[in-house]
């Protein structure tokens, strides 16, 4: 298998930060806030799943760049910013999908943006209070979001632990211990 060129990898950070994440966040916010049928066409299930895939590619690239083979490729701050941005975009995108598909709030189908954002946050964190539940058409999104939330949270905790144990160490220290 051929390795990805470091030059290509250097273009992925700005592409993710300045194009993909703002585009997904913008589509999601428009879909959440506008009560227009044309605005909701932007966040149809196919578009939502494409956004999920793009965010997961950003997440996978962040984890890849953190690995030992590519850890020296760029500053860790860029990875943190991209992870935070992908997480926020994920919550917003799923909230827009829930608003479009509908949620059951106290037994009544609702398309309320506040309920959608609330449910998205609780599903992402896998808290799931049970007061708002997904409609039948929103269940695949809820299942995917819970799984993605567990992966993101686990990776985030691992990255925090890694960063806290690396504090004060240089790359030269690692090379002396791991020639």
Residue 171 lies inside a defined structural domain of this protein = no
Print the domain residue range for 64: 6-166
Residue 34 lies inside a defined structural domain of this protein = yes
Q: What is the pLDDT of residues 85-135, one digit of tens each?
A: 888 999 999 999 999 899 999 999 999 999 999 999 999 998 888 999 999
- Read off the pLDDT of each residue in 36-57 and give the average, rounded to a whole number: 76
Residue 131 lies inside a defined structural domain of this protein = yes
Residue 173 lies inside a defined structural domain of this protein = no
Q: Tell me the CATH number at 131.
A: 1.10.287
Tokens found for residue 67:
């690995």
Residue 128 lies inside a defined structural domain of this protein = yes
Tokens found for residue 54:
């793009």
Q: How many CB atoms lie within 10 A of CB 123?
A: 26
The pTM is what?
0.78
Report the Cα 39 to chain-centroid distance in Å: 22
Say how many domains are in the chain. 1
């Amino acid at each position: 298998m051929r390795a990805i060129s470091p030059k290509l990898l250097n273009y992925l950070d700005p592409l993710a930060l300045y194009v993909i994440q703002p585009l997904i966040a913008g589509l999601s916010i428009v879909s959440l806030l506008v009560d227009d049928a044309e605005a909701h066409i932007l966040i149809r299930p196919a578009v939502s799943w494409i956004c999920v895939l793009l965010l997961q590619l950003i997440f996978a690239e962040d984890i890849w760049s953190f690995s030992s083979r590519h850890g020296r490729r760029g500053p860790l701050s860029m990875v943190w910013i991209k992870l935070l941005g992908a997480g926020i975009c994920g919550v917003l995108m799923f909230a827009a999908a829930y608003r479009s598909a509908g949620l059951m709030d106290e037994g009544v189908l609702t398309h309320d943006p506040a309920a959608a954002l609330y449910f998205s946050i609780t599903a992402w964190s896998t808290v799931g209070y049970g007061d708002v539940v997904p409609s039948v058409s929103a269940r695949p999104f809820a299942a995917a979001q819970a799984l993605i939330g567990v992966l993101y949270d686990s990776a985030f905790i691992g990255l925090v632990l890694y960063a806290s144990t690396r504090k004060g160490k240089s790359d030269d220290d690692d090379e002396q211990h791991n020639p």
